Chain A
Amino acid sequence: MSPGSAFRVSSLHQRAGIPVIQFAIQRILRSLLTLWIVFTTVFAALRLSGDPAFAILGPEAGQDAVASFRERFGLDESILTQYVLYMKNMLTGDMGDSMRYERPVTELFLARLPATLELGAWALLIATIIGIPLGIMAALRHDTILDRGAMLVAFIGQSAPGFFVAIMLILTFSLRLNWLPSSGRGEPNQVVMPAITLAIGLLAALARMTRSSMLEVARADYIRTATAKGLPRRQVVVSHMLRNASLPTVTMLGMWISGMIGGTAITETIFAWPGVGNLIVQAVSGRDYAVVQSLVLIISATVILTNLIVDLAYSWLDPRISMTGKASE
């Protein structure tokens, strides 16, 4: 894997690009369009997926309850009406009420967000503190047993299904050893297992990515030049290799962070961590329309925004990349 990836950069277009402002505007417009597609798809999927009344009220709900439920949430209107109404509300920032909890979605989301951010932050910390040095070490000790061992661990880490890791952690550290609590949030030790579960995949990917980026760059001409010039190895590593190797890492981290809000779903469910992911899973299985629609929109917006930031970060990290127009994106 090498710095700069085909679809982010086309250095074949290293001729002067269009001004950043114009690029930014184009990107924003496209993002809005993307958001609209996302929104409409989810809206349609939810409406087609069946009646939320029984999912929320329970299978034993009486007909009266169902009828009044439908009326309260405007489900007896035509789909087109519902769509238009919802679009209108979105534009004014009104995300509607949760059908299950009868509270504004915004309120629920903001109440749960800190928990997810906390979990994500810890996972990110663990993954970077362990993963990147691991990758660097493996690259520097290329082809030794340390390198092979580290990479095997990385492969396994990337292939471990998150729910399984969670279960094994609970089995070992909670049930058998009694060292850690297995659910909830509040005490500092309650975040350990969920954070580790979340971090493992990223840790492994970071280790592999860092390692191969560094190996790739190490072979490149300008590194050989620097070494030949007699620069101390440390300086070579830090100022040249790391800088260039960091590009795909930044991309990866960017995508991970942007996907975090929805990506914590399974971990939060298993560990009863009161975050946004947990909320989404409950909302989807409960057909809580407003919650799902609004949260999906928020998540997508976050992803798109993060991608934009990552693109900008790219240009800072590698001056060879310019914000060109159409073909690169």
Chain B
Amino acid sequence: MSTTPVPTAAAAPTSLATAGATTGELPHAPRRSLRKLFRRMKPLHMVAVGILLLIVLSAILAPLIAPHNPTKSDLLARLTPPAWISGGDTGHLLGTDQLGRDILSRLMYGSRYSLTIAIIGTVCGVVIGAAFGMVAGFARGIIDQIVMLIVDAFISLPFIIVALAMVAVLGSSFPVLILLAVLSGFAAYTRVTRGLTLQIARQQYVLAAQSIGASRGRLLIRHILPNVTAPLIVLTTMEMGSIILMEAALSFLGFGIQPPTPAWGLMVNEGREYLHNAWWVGVFPGVAIMLLATCISLLGDLLRDILDPGTR
């Protein structure tokens, strides 16, 4: 998600969802081995995965490897440039911000917030969305209508307004941001899962199982769920990038994570007024956001390659 609600996956889900539509084949659950994974990887993918691992590691190890305390201010060292520019200081590789805090350390700690919100938000979003979608697609009728109505309502609301209103009501704490992450993605998961469920439910073997009295739950779990997993995983990585961008945008607008927490979007916001004289305050966190979102996207691409070789 950039400034506009460009639908990444919502408008065009993976072809696994539709392969059945054109050829009548049943999408099957992937059982690939890790070896196949490495074979399919292109250099670009490897770089992306490498960077992601780096970011995750620095998030986990931040307290051990960050050179400075990310929230302690040091007024005498305000707006120090990065080490390679004159006036810089090797103690602060990427410079300091308007309160003298080390930017590199803040980036490391900040990755924790971005990643945590993205991961938890996505996982919750997928679980909830998939559940809704499966129920809607399977049950049909009035339940389906209601679920789709809610989804429609969500999709037609400009998300920025939902976010702003929600923050205004509930404040801008961590749980609220996770809630927003869930809300931003679940519509897509619901729709895709529902579509898949609709198709799968019509397959001969499912109808057969139903006719011999298999319970609904059993049908859902044994037949539908496995076939929904693969496309959902791919969708997930794509949405995760959106969530990272959404959290950054909200923090940027001042509605997300609050100071002095070192969230990346917030750091870009704080750096806005120093573009003229201390560009590093806003640029490095912005680059970090882009990097993380790009790598996750590429990871999604890689996963799609593996899980669904029919599409590119």
Contacts and interface: CB of A to CB of B under 8 A. Distances in A.
B262 interface: no
B191 interface: yes
B12 A161 contact: no
A262 B142 CA distance: 31
B297 A248 contact: no
B7 A216 contact: no
Given A6-B21, A46-B165, A256 B268 contact: no
A252 B168 contact: no
B139 to A, nearest CB: 12
Contacts of A299: 156-158, 161
Interface residues of A, number: 87
A317 to B, nearest CB: 14
B17 interface: yes
A42 B165 contact: yes
B249 A248 contact: no
A200 interface: yes
Interface string A169-199: 0110001000000000000000000000110
Nearest to A268: B3
A67 interface: no
Nearest to A301: B156
Interface stretch (B67-75, B144-152, B216-224): B144-152
A30 B152 contact: yes
B13 interface: yes
Nearest to A306: B156
Interface stretch (A31-39, A103-111, A226-234, A235-243): A31-39
User: Range of interface residues on chain B?
Assistant: 35 or more
Contacts of B152: 30-31, 34, 304
Contacts of A215: 311-312
A168 B169 contact: no
Interface stretch (B101-109, B173-181, B192-200): B192-200
Contacts of A284: 161, 164-165, 168
Contact of A4 (B8, B21, B157, B289): B21
Contact of B4 (A2, A4, A198, A307): A198
A322 interface: no
Contacts of B241: 158-159
Is chain A's interface secondary structure helix, strand, loop, or mixed overall? helix
B257 to A, nearest CB: 15
Given A9-B21, A163-B249, A252-B11, A263 B4 contact: yes
Nearest to A209: B12
Interface stretch (B32-40, B116-124, B274-282): B274-282
A251 B11 contact: yes
Contacts of A205: 6-8
A209 B7 CA distance: 11
Given A5-B17, A42-B165, A34 B4 contact: no
B155 interface: yes
B279 A171 contact: yes
Contacts of B290: 156, 159-161, 164
A292 interface: yes
B140 interface: yes
B66 interface: no
Interface string B236-260: 0000010001001100110000000
Contacts of A327: 140, 198
B168 A37 contact: no
A212 interface: yes
Interface in B284-312: 286, 289-290, 292-294, 296-298, 301, 311-312
Contacts of B292: 159
Given A168-B286, A201-B4, A262-B158, A11 B191 contact: no
Contacts of A281: 160, 164, 253
Contacts of A11: 21-22
A48 B159 CA distance: 18
Nearest to A45: B165
Contacts of B191: 6-7
A45 B153 contact: no
A34 B146 CA distance: 10
Given A7-B195, A30-B149, A34-B149, A162 B4 contact: yes
A5 B20 CA distance: 11
A315 interface: no
B153 A37 contact: yes
A158 B2 CA distance: 7
A130 interface: no
B160 A287 contact: no
A246 interface: no
Given A5-B195, A34-B153, A256-B5, A12 B202 contact: yes
A68 interface: no
Nearest to A160: B290
Given A156-B290, A212-B312, A251-B11, A161 B168 contact: no
B229 interface: no
A265 B165 CA distance: 14
Nearest to A49: B168
B15 interface: yes
6 cross-chain pairs, A with B, having the tightest CB-CB distances, nearest first = A262-B158, A162-B3, A6-B195, A201-B2, A159-B293, A49-B168
10 contacts: A1-B13, A2-B15, A12-B202, A38-B157, A148-B44, A161-B268, A164-B268, A220-B22, A266-B253, A300-B156
Given A161-B289, A261-B158, A269-B253, 5 more contacts: A155-B301, A159-B294, A255-B7, A300-B157, A300-B158
